[in-house]
Homo-oligomer: A and B are copies of this chain.
Amino acid sequence: MRARDIMTKEVTSVRADLSVELAIALMLEKRISGLPVLDPDCAVVGIVSEGDLLARPELGTARPKPGWVQYLISPGRLAEAYARERGRRVGDVMTREVVTASPETPLDEIVDLMTRRRIKRVPIVEGGRLVGLVTRADLLRSLRRALQEAREAPPRDDAAIRTDVETAFVDAGVIPLELIEISVVDGEVGLRGSLTDERQRAAIRAAAESVSGVRAVHDRLTWVDPMSGLVLLSTQEADPRGGTRAV
Interface residues of A in 17-43 (CB under 8 A from B): 17, 19-22, 24-25, 27-28, 31, 33
Q: In whole angstroms, what is the CA distance A91 to B206 when docked?
A: 11
Main secondary structure of the interface of A (DSSP, over half): helix
Q: What's the Cα separation between A26 and B28 when bound, in Å?
A: 19
Min Cβ gap A2→B in Å is 10
CB neighbours (8 Å) of A27 from chain B are: 137, 140
Residues of B within 8 A of A167 (CB): none
Does residue A159 face the partner (Cβ distance < 8 Å to B)? no
Query: A137 is contacted by which of B33, B55, B196 (Cβ under 8 Å)?
Result: B33
Which residues of A from 27 to 67 have beta carbons under 8 Å from B? 27-28, 31, 33, 50-51, 53-61, 65
B79 lies within 8 A of A199 (CB): yes
Whether the Cβ atoms of A108 and B1 lie closer than 8 Å is no
Contact among B51, B88, B140, B197 with A206 in the assembled complex (CB-CB below 8 Å): B88
Q: Tell me whether A207 is interfacial, beta carbon within 8 Å.
A: yes
Chain A's interface size range is 35 or more
Q: Say whether B108 contacts A60, CB under 8 Å.
A: yes
User: Besides the contacts A21-B151, A76-B198, what 17 more A-B pairs have beta carbons closer than 8 Å?
Assistant: A19-B247, A21-B144, A24-B144, A51-B136, A54-B115, A54-B136, A54-B139, A57-B210, A58-B150, A59-B146, A82-B173, A82-B203, A83-B203, A83-B205, A88-B147, A88-B209, A88-B246
